[in-house]
């Protein structure tokens, strides 16, 4: 009696479990984090390979079953079970994460691991096949998307193993794949929110030109709002030297007069009257100039490499344009 909602598909093929453990490259000194150990088929092999296993399991019945399975064995003092939702649990330090996870938490769990405060060697995780292919997709691939770019900024990802649904009981509806995620060291020096906000805009439609996306009224007005907020913050931080801060941001056409709230309101009204994609708008032009400067106007996110995204973001930021 498994709970569908908890994604409980137990790995039944021992050869496959061996193969996952082998590909994970576990050292005998490793502290291993396992997520969703279930009845412990993978846990047992992890205990054989490493020094310690810390397993986070949501389902109390599974926790009991797991403890019962290893009670009185030489493994029991090297296994620590934490009962709870992994997404809400503060994770301990670990060297390597190996997990056959419930697929509904794929995305938040991946980012939780990528942003884990202490460094780890790698994570070897079973995902739904399509999610796995998105993680590893390269520019120009069909499945290349925001998830690919976002993940690959923080980690090297590689596809390790295709896993058919019949390796599980009960079999899930979809095929699976095991992926290796290796956090980059050092971690990239980008502002997470800024990067995420930027990619959200770029991938509004991945096959549209960036020119078309960044001309959209909703995008321009969001960026303009951020711009003005930042100007106001800089001005107040600098007090009487507010002028210098504004100039640093580097656009004379958006000078001090924009600190004037009445002017701001006027500008917005004018934008509203412009109608569909009509002509000017000082700020829109500012945004377009950044795209032109980098030669990005006719490019599409579906084909851009991570370096190109980083470069474009740096150009925006240099012009004082921010996404968070
Ligand atoms: N690892 C086992 C195996 O390979 O046979 C079971 C894997 S099963 C796909 C997923 C496991 O994760 C289940 O035991 C389920 O109870 C547990 N689980 C589901 N949601 C969870 C969550 N949010 N946090 C921790 N464990 C969770």
Atom of ligand 1 nearest to the CA of 99: 1
Name the residue of 1, 4, 6, 39 whose CB sits within 8 Å of the most ligand 1 atoms, as the mutation to test its pocket: 6
Cβ distance 10 to 65 under 8 Å?
A: no
- The complex's ipTM works out to 0.97
List alpha helices for the chain, DSSP H: 14-24, 41-49, 60-70, 106-114, 129-136, 146-154, 192-202, 210-215, 217-238, 242-249, 261-274, 282-294, 306-318
In tens, the pLDDT along 151-165 reads 999 999 999 999 999
C-alpha span between 217 and 234 (Å, rounded): 25
pLDDT band of 62, cuts 50, 70, 90: very high
C-alpha span between 247 and 270 (Å, rounded): 25
Q: Does the pLDDT at position 146 exceed 70?
A: yes
Q: Does the pLDDT at position 252 exceed 90?
A: no
Position of tokens 């994460």? Answer: 97
Tally Cβ neighbours within 10 Å of residue 186.
Answer: 7
In tens, the pLDDT along 278-301 reads 445 899 999 999 999 999 999 999
Structure tokens at 243: 């002028």
The residue whose CA has the least distance to atom 22 of ligand 1 is: 85
How high is the pLDDT of residue 241? 52
Q: 45 CB under 6 A from ligand 1? A: no
SS3 state of residue 267? helix
Name the residue of 36, 43, 171 whose CB sits within 8 Å of the most ligand 1 atoms, as the mutation to test its pocket: 36
Q: Does the pLDDT at position 97 exceed 80?
A: yes
C-alpha span between 245 and 320 (Å, rounded): 11
Q: Does the pLDDT at position 303 exceed 70?
A: yes
In tens, the pLDDT along 6-26 reads 889 999 999 999 999 999 999
**For residue 124, which of 223, 29, 116, 132 has the smallest C-alpha distance?**
132
**For residue 33, which of 108, 121, 156 has the smallest C-alpha distance?**
121
Q: 53 CB under 6 A from ligand 1? A: no
Cβ distance 86 to 56 under 8 Å?
A: yes
Position of tokens 């078309």? Answer: 212
Mean pLDDT of the chain: 88
In tens, the pLDDT along 162-179 reads 999 999 999 999 999 999
C-alpha span between 148 and 205 (Å, rounded): 15
Q: Does the pLDDT at position 94 exceed 90?
A: yes
C-alpha span between 211 and 298 (Å, rounded): 6
Q: 66 CB under 6 A from ligand 1? A: no
How high is the pLDDT of residue 4? 52
In tens, the pLDDT along 204-220 reads 999 999 999 999 999 99
How high is the pLDDT of residue 6? 80
How high is the pLDDT of residue 52? 98
Q: State the Cα angle at 56 between 51 and 57, rounded to 5°.
A: 130
How high is the pLDDT of residue 7? 84
DSSP letter, residue 125: E
Cβ distance 198 to 214 under 8 Å?
A: no
């Amino acid at each position: 009696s498994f709970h569908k909602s908890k994604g409980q598909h137990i790995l039944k093929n021992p050869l496959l479990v061996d193969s996952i453990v082998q590909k994970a490259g576990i050292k005998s000194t490793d502290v291993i984090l396992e997520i969703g150990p279930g009845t412990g088929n993978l846990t047992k092999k992890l205990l054989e390979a490493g020094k310690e296993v810390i397993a986070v399991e949501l389902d109390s019945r599974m926790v009991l079953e797991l403890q019962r399975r290893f009670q009185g064995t030489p493994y029991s003092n090297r296994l620590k079970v934490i009962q709870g939702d992994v997404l809400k649990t503060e994770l301990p330090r670990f060297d390597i994460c190996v997990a056959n996870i419930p697929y509904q938490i794929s995305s938040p769990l991946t980012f939780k691991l990528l942003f884990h405060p202490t460094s780890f060697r790698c994570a070897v995780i079973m995902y739904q096949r399509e999610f796995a292919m998105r993680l590893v997709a390269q520019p120009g691939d069909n499945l290349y998307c925001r998830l690919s770019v976002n993940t690959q900024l923080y980690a090297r990802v590689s596809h390790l193993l295709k896993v058919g649904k019949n390796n599980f009981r009960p079999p899930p509806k979809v095929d699976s794949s095991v992926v290796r995620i290796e956090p980059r060291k050092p971690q990239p020096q980008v502002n997470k929110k800024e990067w995420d906000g930027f990619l959200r805009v770029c991938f509004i439609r991945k096959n549209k030109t960036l020119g078309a996306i960044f001309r959209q009224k909703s995008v321009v007005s969001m960026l303009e709002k951020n711009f003005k907020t930042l100007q106001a913050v800089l001005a107040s931080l600098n007090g009487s030297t507010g002028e210098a801060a504004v100039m640093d941001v580097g656009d004379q056409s958006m000078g001090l007069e924009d600190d004037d709230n009445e002017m701001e309101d006027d500008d917005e009204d004018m934008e509203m009257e412009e109608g569909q994609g009509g002509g000017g708008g000082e700020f829109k032009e500012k945004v377009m100039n950044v795209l032109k400067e980098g030669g990005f106007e006719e490019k599409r996110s579906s084909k851009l490499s991570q370096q190109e995204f980083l470069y474009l973001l740096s150009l925006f930021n240099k012009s004082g344009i921010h996404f968070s």
